[in-house]
Amino acid sequence: MLKLPSLIITDRDESRFLLFDDLHLLWDHARGTDLLETADKPAAVDASDPVAGSPDGGAVKPAGQAVLIVDENVMSAHRERITAAFPEDMVRCFEVPSGEESKSIAMWNRVMDFAFSGPLKRNTPLIAIGGGVTGDLAGFAAASLMRGLPLFHVPTTLLAMVDSAIGGKTGINHAFGKNTIGAFYHPRTVLFDTAFLETLPQREWICGISEVLKYGYIADPDLLEDGAALADPATRTPELLQHVIERSVRIKSDVVATDAREAGRRAWLNFGHTFGHALEALDNYRNINHGEAVYAGMIAALFVSRRLGYEASDESLLQLKGKYRLDLGPYTSRTDELVTLMTHDKKNRDKDIRLVLVSAHGNPLVTSVSDISLLQEAWKYTFDVLT
């Protein structure tokens, strides 16, 4: 028998995170990117230097115009800032309609057609400016175009800043389930420009709080209190916001660094999401947004945790019920459908449903559940306490 040599692939992906209220910094990074020349020479990055050039010290201009993918609402509210940072002669701009409906095959095709409508090479930067929908859509486009364009993110919602822009998950939705088409593809740089949050509606602030609370349950219980303070405009401060973003980046980056493709502990980041994704799908991504669904999903997951004998209080979540103002009445009689949708979750193995539970605040665990009646009880409890 002839033994052939193994194919060993070293994952050299590196994402830089910049917490600055200066959008020009991202354009400086994009101009210093050359995918072809840096593919075999990972750069040593000085964390104190906000502008990184090519590995040999010289800035390499990208090929042609950069592709700018921007949420249409963000562009409307921040057009002057965006156009000042990204010169019109240096970028081609595609505006994405706001809403979960844009995470579709049809919209992905439109982005691809737009990208190919002008000069495009493998070192053409693709810059995503928007929330989770725009970031996921643009990220999947970047992963697909020319087998990978250098990707840069400017998250503009709290949810994107503390979660979706970190970790390299990209994708679009399908009738089979949420995020069932996509790729792991890390951005080169993520710029957290908190000035974008000045126009963020309160409902979107609350949705981002869900992911902060998630980190509180799986990693740092102090974030449960911080999240509650950030949810209230009266107690929201720039210092608290910066602390929460930095802490969230550190938690998620630490998890992703040891499990980039969700083979183990990265699954902890799905706490509340298996329940939440089912609720989003049942709603057809119309009335309940992602953060709200995750909020309900965490309450359900904590119920299952308690039923299995763990100490997992949902008091921190229920104290914020008035902030979320969820209308779950249309779904209270559809628990069977919700459980069926949970069986479609892409994280499942065999016939069981994989859930992230907590044995205590800050201590997550992944458990396979086959007891359908337990899941139905969890949904009924959630509806009871939230309606």
pLDDT digits (tens, 9 = 90+) for 297-338: 999 999 999 999 999 999 999 999 999 999 999 999 999 999
CATH number of 16-37+54-198: 3.40.50.1970
d(CA 175, CA 351): 20
Q: What is the pLDDT of residues 213-235, one digit of tens each?
A: 999 999 999 999 999 999 999 99
Token look-up 């057009």 returns 79
Contacts (Cβ under 8 Å, ≥6 apart) of 234: none
* Single-letter residue type at 216: G
Q: Counting beta carbons within 10 angstroms of the beta carbon of residue 333, is it exposed (0 to 12), middle (13 to 18) or buried (19 or more)?
A: exposed
pLDDT of residue 60: 43
Average pLDDT (131-159) is 96
What's this model's pTM, rounded to 2 decimal places?
0.86
CATH 3.40.50.1970 intervals, the chain:
16-37+54-198
User: What confidence category does residue 88 fall into, taking pLDDT thresholds of 50, 70 and 90?
Assistant: confident
Average pLDDT (156-182) is 92
Q: What is the rounded (10 degree) CA torsion for 100, 179, 121, 123?
A: 100
What does the DSSP 8-state code read for residue 162? I
Residue 109: pLDDT over 70: yes
pLDDT of residue 15: 84
pLDDT of residue 4: 55
User: What confidence category does residue 22 fall into, taking pLDDT thresholds of 50, 70 and 90?
Assistant: confident
Q: How many CB atoms lie within 10 A of CB 27?
A: 20
- The catalytic site residues sit at 147, 169, 211, 252, 262, 266, 270, 273, 277, 290
Residue 38: pLDDT over 50: no
Residue 108: pLDDT over 70: yes
Q: Counting beta carbons within 10 angstroms of the beta carbon of residue 337, is it exposed (0 to 12), middle (13 to 18) or buried (19 or more)?
A: middle
CATH 1.20.1090.10 intervals, the chain:
202-386
* Single-letter residue type at 86: F
User: What confidence category does residue 34 fall into, taking pLDDT thresholds of 50, 70 and 90?
Assistant: very low
- Domain 202-386 in this protein, CATH class: mainly alpha
pLDDT of residue 51: 33
Cβ atoms of residues 187 and 176 within 8 Å: no
Q: What is the pLDDT of residues 329-358, one digit of tens each?
A: 999 999 999 999 999 876 666 678 999 999
d(CA 319, CA 149): 44
Average pLDDT (178-188) is 91
Residue 23 CA to its chain's centroid (Å):
20
According to DSSP, the β-strands at 169-174 and 177-184 are: antiparallel
What does the DSSP 8-state code read for residue 260? T
Average pLDDT, the chain: 87
User: What confidence category does residue 19 fall into, taking pLDDT thresholds of 50, 70 and 90?
Assistant: confident
Three-state secondary structure call for residue 25: helix
Backbone CA torsion sign across 152, 156, 161, 163 = negative
Q: Work out the angle at residue 191's Cα, subtended by the Cα atoms of residues 187 and 192, and round it to the nearest 5 degrees.
A: 130
